[in-house]
Structure 1
Amino acid sequence: MEKLLLIAIPDTAGVEQIAAKLRLRTVTVAPENYGKSLGSLAGYAAGTVPVSAETTLPETGLLVMCGLKNSRMDKLLAALRTAGIRIPHKAVLTPTNQNWNVYQLAQELERERQAMEKR
């Protein structure tokens, strides 16, 4: 099932509009659900993960793409670029990260971003 998890994204309406054109379902994740696993937020396995209170989310939010084929993902990313919607912290739901909570994903994406900047 193709869907997007929208986490603390400032321009939720813009992303939802693009998703609707591409016939993608969106799920806006409320802060009280940040401790749940990404898989459960996407509608797969249920579960909660310990929440680290120290972690903050990026001000541009997080976008998690669930079940999208590469061609659909390319169309989504191109449409976001064309619309000027900047979400630097994007991820694909995987068997590994489906058991992470929102904070764990944010930490990993930030680590990856910093590693790329050092190159």
Structure 2
Amino acid sequence: MDNQVLAQLLFWRTVPGFEPSPAAFAPAQDAIQDLREHLQKTVDAGLLHPDAASDEGIALYTSITSGVLSQQLANEPGASFEEGRFTRLLPTVLEMFYQRYTPTRGKR
């Protein structure tokens, strides 16, 4: 929320035809790897279903969290993260992710 132009450059393709160089894209790949490792540790601790650390789980997590930020920037850019109509829903969104990947998912 503090650097909205940077957020646009990081999360959206604001310049038609632009593709980052491998070196410029490396930090994004590192961030995804960090997320994967964090989710895997949570799976290993028995707090999430193994699918949470899968490619699908990573895609869902990044989609819902970046979607919250995108909605906030598009609809209420002047609000703080804590007070934003969309960003304040992040705990609820993360709870939804947890419910999707609850450790007992698929067990009867």
Q: TM-score, normalized by length of structure 1?
A: 0.27
Tell me which structure has the larger Cα radius of gyration. 2
More strand by share: 1
More helix by share: 2
Which structure has more RCO (C-alpha within 8 Å, separation ≥ 6)?
1
Q: TM-score, normalized by length of structure 2?
A: 0.28
